[in-house]
């Protein structure tokens, strides 16, 4: 029986997923909120599943409810104060549940909250970026992360000799990491010259910092997987793994791009 080419599956999966991402980002508005919420919920579920593989018992329902409370109100233009109230009530429920639960440990409670902060809260900055109203800014979340990943892969493939952090990610090399930063900076500057020509110079430091942070995000995810003993967080994207496997480097670039946008807005004003 002929074996299926993993690279072919990976390419096909990207061929389907990337156009969907482009359509969602292009349309913007409420569609971005709902798409981001779905991604956040799947990512949180994958995180909790990986922790269960280690023997922990995070509270799924409160974590998921917190995520919905974070994403839904802005989509319907509900005032922020109600978001805070909902989050406070859900946090109270989590703590009371811990108080009365006999099977849940303090570590389980911490992992429930950490999982929410690690992905849904960080990824929520996609929605905040959409609210800034800066043309094309949201694209840089993925440009920084995925161009870095691609350049680092080919840099490591052709020139990689020294291991970057073998205990966490054996395949990553110092040369690949440097290629990721250099390639990301050059390509991002080129894209900025096309999409945001008046602020090109602003995007050079963003690319450098974003490339470094995206690689840190990748390493953090790798360390979590080594701790839990899972190979992939999920299997929703054939050839790529789960949502967290595909978005691990985006976790760090999303808040960065948002606060970069805030700085850009302040400078323009």
- CB burial string 102-141: b at 16+ within 10 A, e below: eebeeebbebbbebbebbbbbbbbbbbbbebebeebbbbb
Assess whether pLDDT exceeds 80 at residue 113.
yes
Residues in contact with 161: Cβ distance below 8 Å, sequence separation at least 6, in sequence order: 173, 174, 175
Q: Among the listed ranges 91-105, 156-170, 171-185, 188-202, which one has the minimum average pLDDT value?
A: 91-105
pLDDT at 234 over 70: yes
Query: pLDDT for 58-77, tens place per residue?
Result: 989 889 988 988 888 777 77
CA 64 from centre of chain: 17
Greatest mean pLDDT range, 17-21, 89-93, 103-107: 103-107
Tell me, what's the pLDDT at 39?
92
Asked if residue 206 has pLDDT above 70, the reply is: yes
pLDDT digits (tens, 9 = 90+) for 122-137: 999 998 898 888 888 9
Q: What is the mean pLDDT of residues 91-96?
A: 80
157: part of which helix (H) or strand (E)?
helix 139-159
Radius of gyration of the chain (CA): 19
Supply φ then ψ for residue 63, to 5 degrees: -65, -45
Stretch among 21-30, 122-131, 233-242 having the lowest mean pLDDT = 233-242
Angle at CA 150, nearest 5°, toward 146 and 261? Answer: 30
> Model pTM?
0.87
Q: Measure CA 41 to chain center.
A: 12
Return the domain boundaries, the chain. Answer: 6-268
Per-residue pLDDT tens digits for 222-232: 999 999 999 88
């Amino acid at each position: 029986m002929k074996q299926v080419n993993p690279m072919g599956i990976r390419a096909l999966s990207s061929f389907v997923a990337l156009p969907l991402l482009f359509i969602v980002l292009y349309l913007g508005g409420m569609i971005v909120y709902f798409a981001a919420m779905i991604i956040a919920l799947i990512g949180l579920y994958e995180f909790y599943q990986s922790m269960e593989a280690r023997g922990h018992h995070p509270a799924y329902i409160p974590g998921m409810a917190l995520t919905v409370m974070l994403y839904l109100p802005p989509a319907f233009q509900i005032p922020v104060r109600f978001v805070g109230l909902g989050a406070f009530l859900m946090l109270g429920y989590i703590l009371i549940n811990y108080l009365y639960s006999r099977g849940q440990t303090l570590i389980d409670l911490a992992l429930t909250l950490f999982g929410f902060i690690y992905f849904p809260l960080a990824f929520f900055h996609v929605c905040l970026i959409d609210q800034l109203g800066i043309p094309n800014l949201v694209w840089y979340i993925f440009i920084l992360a995925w161009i870095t990943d691609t350049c680092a892969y080919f840099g490591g493939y052709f020139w990689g000799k020294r291991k970057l952090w073998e205990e966490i990610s054996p395949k990553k090399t110092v040369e690949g990491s440097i290629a990721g930063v250099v390639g990301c900076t050059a390509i991002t500057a080129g894209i900025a010259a096309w999409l945001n020509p008046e602020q090109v110079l602003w995007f050079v430091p963003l690319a450098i910092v974003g490339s470094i942070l995206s690689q840190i995000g990748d390493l953090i995810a790798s360390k979590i997987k080594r701790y839990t003993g899972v190979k992939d967080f999920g299997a929703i994207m054939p050839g790529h793994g789960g949502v967290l496997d595909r978005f691990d480097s985006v976790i760090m670039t999303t808040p960065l791009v948002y606060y970069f946008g805030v700085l850009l807005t302040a400078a323009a004003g």
